[in-house]
Chain A
Amino acid sequence: MIVEHRLNEIRDITLEMLWKASELAEKHSHNVSAILLGYEVSALAENISDRADTILIFDDERLKNFNAGIYKEIIAGLIQESNPILTLIGNTSWGMEVAPCLAIRTGFPLATDCINITFHDGKCIAQRQMYSGKIFSNVSFAESTGYLLTVRSGVFSKDIIGERKAELVQKDFPLTEVPLKKDFIEFVETAAGDVDISQAELLVSTGRGIGEEENISLVKDLAEALNGVVSCSRPIVDKNWLPKYLQVGTSGKSVSPKVYIAIGISGAFQHMAGVSGAGTIIAINKDPKAPIFRTADYGIVDDLFKIVPILKEKVLETKKG
């Protein structure tokens, strides 16, 4: 599995992939090897040494910043050399750039965004979702000596399975020529703003179901009546109706309010990953099949334009009380 780290920290997805890899390795008598690429990353290897049998470390200044061009060369070389049955990569921005390239390079079948991985009679089966989580599917593969899978963040445990003490192997930078066609310039904060939704106790959040920009005021009014903070899902930011710093989800912020009121939010996993820390989730959506009702604590299957104004009035009445 490919270790993902950023700004000198092991990312959670790495621990989750190591958990799944260990589980499969125990069951089917395989070894877990982790590949760690970076610069001055040897300390990171120590952090995960009880979770793998081998850690191959490529510690080189040329690997300081993620560069799909270099990463894919090195990983493809390793795959061809050691022929692993399974290569796990995070279904992250970086992983999703590298994995399809590796599939073409190695000829191995690839399934992305997997939420479970099993082997039946030596056949690899990946479970994944389609149509924004409304449909699940089991994916199998054409016969191959190895498979590539990218793993969704947050679905597997971060625990340790079994006793392992990894052999740390320092590898030399294997490329003679560096394909320097893509230069890293900088990281930028895209979600800076005046309001920090991650600190709010009550979030009144809205999504695509709000329909029109002028309807956002309904949500703002309710939030104001409740002394809560407005937040939203991705489509609202994409349309420029609310600023990026109010966005909840994987590409926005993770929040942990006491109560999260989701108004017209269908509940795509990228959004729900951001509210896993919420105490109570109340969802209002007119689609009874909206995935949000699977994780919400309370659901209101009704037209938000009917419910929200009445709720606001009732709140004001109660507060005057």
Chain B
Amino acid sequence: MDIVVCVKRVPLTEEVDLVIDEQKKGIKKDQLAFVLNDWDNYAIEEAILLKERHGGTVTAITVGSEDDEEVLRRSLAMGADRAIRVEAGDTTRFDSYGIAKILSRVVKDVPFDLIFTGVLADDDYFGMVGMMVAEELQINHANMVTAIEIEDRKVRTTSELEGGLGEVSLIELPALLAIQTGINEPRYVSILGIRKAAKKELKVVDLSELGLSDEELSPKTLIDEVYLPPETEGAQILSGDPEKIASEVIEILTKKGVMA
């Protein structure tokens, strides 16, 4: 079972004050820490679990700068066999179409039975690259996958629907599956592990080698302007020392009739 996993490095924005950049096209990123996109972390883990069970290889791919190699090294440390980075200069000039074109071109030279992507990325939240790659490659697909079992040349998947419902399907390989968080428990990666993985193959492919025209890569979805959420009335903030806050909360609970 040869599996390709598409990964992305994203800024960590939880509990951080985000600042809009001068052009109002994005956020200032120079002060932010970066991590492997949460969904992709689960996707890599799932690929490695399947490899451990069924044999084969795991290849991690990203489109980005040298800084983005950090998430490939992490993937290698988790157990991926090799990694590919597509050097494409400033990737903010691409939209999901462009990234999907690039990815579907790169995987043509990589043997695969399955391609995994995360359901979405914790930055732009578009969530469309995976299915676009499947359509470009004309292969089968499933979204929001929370369970996978290999059955001969087929894969049995559970896709998460709304309201606690799952949909089980049987899909012919090759296929692209967009992986949902919670499908497994991603393993811990140590600094030492990342250092050891430096010996593994990390290939850099230049965008120009892929033979994509400017027209194919030109964005169709354009971010005109980003801004902070419009002000709302918001919550009434309870402040003071913890004792005082606790008393106020109890008062509210009593008033609402749940302190019985």
- Chain A positions near chain B (C-beta within 8 angstroms): 6, 66, 68-69, 72, 92-94, 96-101, 103-105, 108-113, 125, 128-142, 144, 153, 181-192, 201-202, 208, 226-228, 234-235, 237-240, 244-245, 247, 250-254, 257-259, 266, 279-283, 286-287, 289-302, 306-307, 310-311, 313-315, 318-319
Main secondary structure of the interface of A (DSSP, over half): mixed
Q: Of A96, A97, A291, A310, which one neighbours B229 at CB under 8 angstroms?
A: A291
**CB-based contact A92/B162 at 8 Å:** yes
Known: A100-B129, A251-B164, A299-B237. 11 other contacts (CB 8 A): A92-B162, A93-B162, A97-B159, A101-B131, A130-B125, A139-B222, A142-B220, A153-B162, A182-B170, A238-B182, A280-B256
**CB-based contact A142/B219 at 8 Å:** yes
**CB-based contact B185/A136 at 8 Å:** no
**CB-based contact A306/B143 at 8 Å:** no
In the complex, what residue of chain B is closest to A113 when comparing beta carbons? B125
How far in angstroms is the closest Cβ of chain B from A204?
Answer: 10
> Which A residues touch B162, using CB under 8 A?
92-93, 153, 250-251
Q: Is B13 an interface residue (CB 8 A)?
A: yes
**CB-based contact A66/B167 at 8 Å:** yes
- Beyond A134-B18, A140-B222, whether A103 also contacts B128 by CB under 8 A is yes
Q: Of B15, B96, B229, B256, which one neighbours A258 at CB under 8 angstroms?
A: B256
How far in angstroms is the closest Cβ of chain B from A308?
Answer: 9
A sample of 19 cross-chain residue pairs with beta-carbon separation below 8 angstroms, ordered by A number, consists of: A6-B165, A93-B161, A96-B128, A97-B131, A97-B141, A97-B142, A100-B129, A101-B132, A110-B221, A112-B126, A112-B127, A135-B228, A182-B142, A188-B168, A190-B158, A208-B14, A287-B15, A301-B237, A318-B250
How far in angstroms is the closest Cβ of chain B from A290?
Answer: 8
Q: Is B146 an interface residue (CB 8 A)?
A: yes
- Chain B positions near chain A (C-beta within 8 angstroms): 11, 13-15, 17-18, 20, 27, 96-97, 100, 119, 122-132, 134-136, 140-144, 146, 156, 158-172, 181-182, 185, 218-230, 232, 234-239, 242-243, 245-247, 249-250, 252-253, 256-260
In the complex, what residue of chain B is closest to A318 when comparing beta carbons? B250
* Bound-state Cα–Cα, A295 to B202, Å: 46
**CB-based contact B223/A139 at 8 Å:** yes
* Bound-state Cα–Cα, A250 to B119, Å: 15
How far in angstroms is the closest Cβ of chain A from B217?
Answer: 12
Q: Of A97, A227, A252, which one neighbours B260 at CB under 8 angstroms?
A: A227
Interface-central residue, B143, B164, B247, B260, by most chain A CB under 10 Å: B164
> Which B residues touch A191, using CB under 8 A?
163-164
**CB-based contact A315/B224 at 8 Å:** no
In the complex, what residue of chain B is closest to A129 when comparing beta carbons? B125
- Beyond A110-B221, A112-B127, A139-B222, whether A182 also contacts B229 by CB under 8 A is no
**CB-based contact B242/A258 at 8 Å:** no
How far in angstroms is the closest Cβ of chain A from B62?
Answer: 19
In the complex, what residue of chain B is closest to A254 when comparing beta carbons? B163
How far in angstroms is the closest Cβ of chain A from B232?
Answer: 5
**CB-based contact A240/B229 at 8 Å:** no
> Which B residues touch A318, using CB under 8 A?
250, 259
In the complex, what residue of chain A is closest to B165 when comparing beta carbons? A187
The 6 A-B pairs of least Cβ separation, nearest first, read A191-B164, A299-B235, A238-B182, A100-B131, A109-B220, A100-B128
**CB-based contact A190/B14 at 8 Å:** no
**CB-based contact A105/B135 at 8 Å:** yes
* Bound-state Cα–Cα, A297 to B224, Å: 33
